[in-house]
Every structure is written in C-alpha cells, then in structure tokens.
C-alpha cells in the first residue's frame, strides 16, 4: 500500500518550510533595510516641515503678507499649509486633499495674534522608491525560492507521473512496466510500484484464466471423444443387448465426468461473480444440521457414512450461510473422490476462547506431506489428467479468508483432515 500519510506529510512540510523561509527573508529585509530607511525618511520629512514652520514664524510679520508669503513658500518647498485663527476660522488653505506623508501643527504669533499653523508634506519620493525596492526584492526572493522548488517538483513529481502515464499507455500495447527505486525519498514511485503490482495481479489472473480454459478443453475433450466413439459404434454396428448396455453405461459414466467438470467451473465462476459476503447471525447447530440434511442421503447412496460430532456446542456465528455450505460441499466432495465405499466422513466442532474449529476428516489414504499446502492453490490436483477439479479447495480457502478465518490440511491415522477456524460471534461485536 502506498504510504499516503508520508507523502502528504513531506509535501506539506516542504510547503511550510518554503513559506517560513520566505517570511524570514522578508522580516530580515523589513528589520534591517525597510524600517531604518523608513525612519530616516520620516525624520528628514519632519525636519523639513519644522524648518518651514520656523521660517514662517520668523519671516511672516504682517497679516497682509499671509496669502502671498504662504503661497510662494508652499510652491517652493512642496508643502501644503493651513492657517487658522483663534476662532478656528481658516485664514489660508492650499491643500488639495492629497494623501500626506507627514503633518505637523504648531501655534505661531503674527502681530501679537495667535494662529494655528499646519504644514503637510505630501511628497514621499524616497518612500515610494523604497516600496519599489521592496517589491523588487520580494520578486527576487520568490524567484530564488521558486526555481529550486520547480526543479525539485519536476524531479520528484512531474517526471515520475509522466513515467507512470507512459507505462500505462505502453501496457495497452503489451509492454509491461517495471518497478522503480523508492529508497531515495521518491515516495511517488510507490504509485508506479503499486501499478506494477496491479499489472502483475492482472497478468497472473489472465494466466490463471488461460490455464482454466486449457484445462476445461483438455478435461472435456477426453470424455467427449470417448462418448463420440461409443455413440458411433451404437449407430453403425449391430450389437447384442449386453454390448449395447455396456456402451450406454460407458457413455453415461463419461457424461458424469463432464458434468462434474462443468459444475466445478460453474462453482468457480459463481464464486468470483458473487464475491461479496452476505452474513447473518446463525448457530453452529443449525449450520451443521443443514449440512447433514443436504449430504447424508447422497453419501448413503454412495456407501459413505456422515458423522457429525459437535459435543453439544451451540455457538453464535456471523457467516454467509450459502458460502459456508459451499465450503462444506467442496471439502466433502473432495473426500468422496478419495475414499471407497464403506468410507466415513466425520465433521467435528471444537471451541477455544474466541474461535470455532471445524474439522472434516475422511478415512481415505491422505495426501503426501510435501503437497498439503498446495491443495488450496487454484487448479492443483494429484490427478495429472484432470486439472479443473483443483478449483474446489482454492474456493474454500478464499471463502474462509473472507470470514477472517484460516484453513489447513493434515494427515491423521484415519486419512485426511481439512480444518478451518472461524471467529465466534459476540454481542459486543455489534458495537
């Protein structure tokens, strides 16, 4: 599984570091360049305004000079001036409602009368230049940080994604992808490797489907050829009653073999189509009683006895009943093929603290120790002439795994035992 958490964490960590680094550089610029320059401009402007106020106070001696003197002064020194008398009446005002950088007001005396003088500095050439420098610096910082980030994004993200897209397109034309190295922090290559694993699964499934089709063809072709041969004899040769009966029985036996092959394949198909569990709460006694009712008579006709030992255990179990019946059916049918008449199939139920153990034992010859794990693999069989029969136990394993259980096979004195374990259902499991 792809480590999505790790990939997301690294992505957000890189973005967070990028933002912190940018903030640190900007704060350094503001602390060591912008603020000192800003304060310097502010002090200069303040001194300039105070010089104008002192100049006005020292040189404006008569009221009749106010308008001409202040007009000329404001034009020459790039300032705006407002002069009010003691009644707060405006005597002079040449402001144009522009945004001012700095404004200072002081009381001055003209002909022994007190006035409120306000001088505004509306030009901020140095501050504007400083702002432009600030923006240029920020652009430079972003470029310096963005170029490595873009390069790393290309190496770490864009190129691997392009490779994945190429591999997907190539696979459409039969070119299989290959896994990539994830030991150098290339987490996105895990997506590539997941795709490779998916391709391998698809290829395995395709190979299995091909083997199944080949097996069906082989398994059906042999009895079908025999049936055609005996049918041809029945059509073209004058046979006595005894030979005719023998040939008909041969045809019937081969037909049963074909029926068994097709049923096994149908079982495989239905299991893959209906792979979703539809569980319900039932009891072990009810489940085993249904198994007994379904198989006792058929086994009796074959001369095989079915015994069920549940030691009076009645436990709740949460299972898909139809699929569990298929498990018992496949295991019992497998035993029937390997025991003779007067055989015995025994189903035993045992219990641990949390699990139920089902054991299905027959008194056949058992299996070789070196193949007991292989019997649950699809298409495996000890009969080399018939491979389709190997689907039954593999389906059992899949169903048991879907129920969070386990299954195994081993030999006992009385033949082969297939044992599977399922969890007991407790009421608190609902929570």
Task: Give tens-digit pLDDT for 94-103.
Answer: 877 655 556 7
Length of the chain (residues) = 431
Q: Check if the beta carbon of residue 82 is closer than 8 Å to that of residue 93.
A: yes
Mean pLDDT: which of 73-82, 94-103, 181-190, 247-256 is highest? Answer: 247-256
pLDDT, tens digit, 9 for 90 and up, residues 160-171: 778 888 888 887
| Structural domain count, the chain | 3
Confidence grade of residue 33 (pLDDT, cut at 50, 70, 90): low
Residue after which a domain boundary falls, among 81, 102, 127: 127
pLDDT of residue 421: 94
User: Do 102 and 202 belong together in one domain?
Assistant: no
Claim to verify: residue 313 and residue 378 sit in the same structural domain: yes
10 confidence band (pLDDT: 50, 70, 90) = low
Do 325 and 239 fall within a single domain?
no
Is the model more confident about 415 or about 208? 415
32 and 87 both lie in a single domain: yes
Q: Report the alpha-carbon distance of residue 314 to residue 283 in Å, rounded.
A: 6
Q: Give the per-residue pLDDT at 388.
A: 44
What pLDDT sits at residue 136?
Answer: 75
Give the model's pLDDT for residue 387. Answer: 43
Look at residues 370, 356, 352, 354 and name the one whose alpha carbon lies nearest to residue 411: 370
Domain with residue 252: its CATH number is: 1.10.287.130
Q: How far apart, in Å, do the first and last CA atoms of the chain sit? A: 28
pLDDT at position 11: 62
State both tokens at 399.
């169903």
Best CA proximity match to 390, nearest among 279, 260, 300, 299: 260
Report field, pTM of the whole predicted structure over 0.85: no
What is the per-residue pLDDT for 345?
A: 92
Q: Is residue 333 in a domain?
A: yes
- Identify which of 59, 58, 110 has the alpha carbon closest to the alpha carbon of residue 83: 110
Question: Which of 220, 250, 269 is the endpoint of a domain?
Answer: 269
φ, ψ for residue 415 (rounded to 5)?
110, -150
pLDDT attached to residue 398: 87
308 and 244 assigned to the same domain:
no
Q: Could you list the residue range(s) of the whole structural domain that residue 353 is in?
A: 277-430
293 and 354 in a single domain? The answer is: yes
- Listed range (136-150, 240-254, 284-298, 400-414) with the worst mean pLDDT: 136-150
Q: What is the pLDDT of residues 41-53, one digit of tens each?
A: 556 667 777 777 7
Q: Do 196 and 231 lie in a common domain?
A: yes
User: pLDDT band for position 347 (50/70/90)?
Assistant: very high
| pLDDT value, residue 31 | 64
pLDDT at 419: 94
Counting Cα atoms < 13 Å in the Cβ hemisphere of 23 gives: 6
Mean of the per-residue pLDDT values of the chain: 77
392, 232, 374: which is closest to 328 by C-alpha? Answer: 392
Please indicate, yes or no, if residue 202 is contained in any of the structural domains: yes
Same domain, 293 and 375: yes
As given in the structure block, the two tokens for residue 411 are 């030999």
Q: What is the DSSP letter of 157?
A: I
Residues 245 and 381 grouped into a single domain: no
pLDDT tens sequence across 207-241: 877 777 776 777 778 788 888 888 888 887 677 88
The verdict on 284 and 333 lying in the same domain is: yes
> For the residues 153-162, what does the mean pLDDT come to?
72
Instruction: Determine which of 133-137, 232-236, 302-306 has the lowest per-residue pLDDT on average.
Output: 133-137
The helix (H) or strand (E) run that includes residue 176 is none
Residues 306, 250 share a domain: no
* Residue 134 belongs to a domain: no
User: CB 420: neighbour CB atoms within 10 A?
Assistant: 24
| Predicted pLDDT of residue 60 | 78
Q: Residue 316: is its pLDDT beyond 80?
A: yes
CATH code where residue 373 lies? 3.30.565.10
Where is the domain boundary, 127, 146, 171?
127
- How far apart are alpha carbons 299 and 341 in whole angstroms? 10
Domain-embedded: residue 250: yes
Specify if 145 maps to a domain.
Answer: no
Lowest mean pLDDT among 200-209, 272-281, 394-403, 405-414: 272-281
Look at residue 21 and tell me if it is in a domain: yes
Report d(CA 145, CA 200) in Å as an integer: 41
Model pLDDT, residue 2: 44
**Residue holding tokens 């000329």?**
72
Joined tokens for residue 26: 């900007």
DSSP state string for 132-145: HHHHHHHHHHHHHH
For the chain, the C-alpha Rg in angstroms (whole number) is: 47
Distance CA 383, CA 392 (A): 14
pLDDT at 160: 75
| Residue 96 DSSP label | -
């Amino acid at each position: 599984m792809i480590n999505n958490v790790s990939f997301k964490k690294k992505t957000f960590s890189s973005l967070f570091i990028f933002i912190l680094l940018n903030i640190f550089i900007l704060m350094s610029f503001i602390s060591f360049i912008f603020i000192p320059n800003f304060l310097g401009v502010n002090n200069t402007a303040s001194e300039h305004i105070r010089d104008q106020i002192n100049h006005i106070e020292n040189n404006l001696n008569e009221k009749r000079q106010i308008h001409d003197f202040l007009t000329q002064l404001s034009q020459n020194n790039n300032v705006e001036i407002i002069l009010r008398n003691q009644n707060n009446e405006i005597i002079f005002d040449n402001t144009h409602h522009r945004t001012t950088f700095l404004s200072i007001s002081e009381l001055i005396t003209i002909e022994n009368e007190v006035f409120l003088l306000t001088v505004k500095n509306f030009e901020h050439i140095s501050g504007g230049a400083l702002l432009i420098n600030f923006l240029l610096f920020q652009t430079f910082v972003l470029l310096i940080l963005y170029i490595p980030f873009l390069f790393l994004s290309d190496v770490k993200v864009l190129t691997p994604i392009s490779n994945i897209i190429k591999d997907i397109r190539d696979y459409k034309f039969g070119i299989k992808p290959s896994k990539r190295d994830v030991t150098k922090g290339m987490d996105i290559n895990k997506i590539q490797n997941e795709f490779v694993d998916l391709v391998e699964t698809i290829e395995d499934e395709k190979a299995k489907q091909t083997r199944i089709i080949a097996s069906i063809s082989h398994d059906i072709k042999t009895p079908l050829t025999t049936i055609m041969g005996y049918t041809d004899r029945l059509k073209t040769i004058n046979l006595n009653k005894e030979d005719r009966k023998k040939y008909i029985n041969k045809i019937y036996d081969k037909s049963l073999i074909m029926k068994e092959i097709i049923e096994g394949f149908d079982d495989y198909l239905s299991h893959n189509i209906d792979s979703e569990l539809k569980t319900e709460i039932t009891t072990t006694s009810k489940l085993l009683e249904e198994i007994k009712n379904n198989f006792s008579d058929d086994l009796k006709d074959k001369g095989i006895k079915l015994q069920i030992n549940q030691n009076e255990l009645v436990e709740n179990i949460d299972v898909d009943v139809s699929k569990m019946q298929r498990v018992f059916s496949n295991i019992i049918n497998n035993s029937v093929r390997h025991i003779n008449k007067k055989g015995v199939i025994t189903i035993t139920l045992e219990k641990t603290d949390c699990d139920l153990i089902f054991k299905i034992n027959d008194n056949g010859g058992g299996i070789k120790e070196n193949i007991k794990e292989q019997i649950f693999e699809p298409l495996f069989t000890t009969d080399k002439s018939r491979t389709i029969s190997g689907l039954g136990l593999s389906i059992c394993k899949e169903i048991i795994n879907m129920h969070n259980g386990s299954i195994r096979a081993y030999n006992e004195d009385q033949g082969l035992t297939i044992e599977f374990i399922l969890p007991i259902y407790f009421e608190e499991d609902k929570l």
